[in-house]
Amino acid sequence: MRSDSDYPKGYRYPIVIISHAVWLYHRFTLSFRDVQELLFERGIDVTYESIRRWCNRFGPELAEEIKRRRRPAGRTWHLDEVHIVIAGEVHWLWRAIDEHGEVLDILLQEHRDAASAKRFFRRLLDDNDLPEQVVTDGLRSYGTAIKEIPELSVAEHVTVSASEHQNNLIEQSHRPTRNQERQQQGFRSCWRAQRFLFSHAHISNLFKTTRTQISANERRFNIKQALSTWAEVALDMI
């Protein structure tokens, strides 16, 4: 028997199915049609366009709540920026992670100048405690922005050379984004790309500890904990 409390208003599928589709899409490198096929195999007949709407509607909300629940950030921030082509124009994806590899935030911007770096630092400081150390590549914009933000004067700024692979931690963090970019055959709008990349980053954070070099028992425990948190977050949205 249907219980309306399990259904988001205006949707004919319960949140457990909707959230499962969103999880499949963001957790693995899948297309909307791939997710549609996986759901159909389990007896759930839904169009890929509906799955697209679910991901656009609920993905950012799920990601925002996961971000709110995450553990406090580590004391070292690693920052980097990579170019992404959107509708034929180059944009820059700014990313920050801590020493554990957890994504703190991402921000898509048109430039990689000091103003853009400062904007990203301000965004990070709004949600995180002050770091003890900030690790960046040699882009001068970082140093300029740090000097102009008084709060960061207490943090040690370490510059590493990208050619020496000294900032591998954050470079590895970019890989899932590149995989999804290829899967989607590029992004078509800055606004949609920001929403997707933000959702993808924070949903990936939740499941990050399920694929590290740990024992099988610990991995199973981490997966159960992550899935339990996912279910709680999904139910809280109704």
Residues 119, 51 share a domain? no
Residues 103, 9 share a domain? no
pLDDT of residue 4: 63
Q: Is the pLDDT of residue 211 over 70?
A: no
Residues 82, 9 share a domain? no
Reading across the β-sheet that carries 103-109, which strands appear in turn? Answer: 103-109, 89-98, 76-86, 133-136, 156-159
Residues 150, 184 share a domain? yes
Instruction: Label residue 169 by pLDDT band (50, 70, 90).
Output: confident
Characterize 143-153 residue by residue with b for buried, 16 or more Cβ atoms within 10 angstroms of its Cβ, and e for exposed.
bebbeeeeebe
Q: How many domains are contained in the chain?
A: 2
pLDDT of residue 96: 95
Give the mean pLDDT of the chain: 90
The predicted model gives 191-202 an average pLDDT of: 91
Residues 176, 86 share a domain? yes
| Rg of the chain, C-alpha, whole Å | 19
Domain range for 59 is 4-69+210-236
Residues 84, 56 share a domain? no
Of 205, 183, 20, the C-alpha closest to 100 is 205
pTM: 0.86
List pLDDT tens digits, range 16-54.
Answer: 999 999 999 999 989 999 999 999 999 999 999 999 999
Q: Where are the alpha helices (DSSP H) in 105-150?
A: 114-127, 140-148
Residues 169, 101 share a domain? yes
Residues 125, 45 share a domain? no
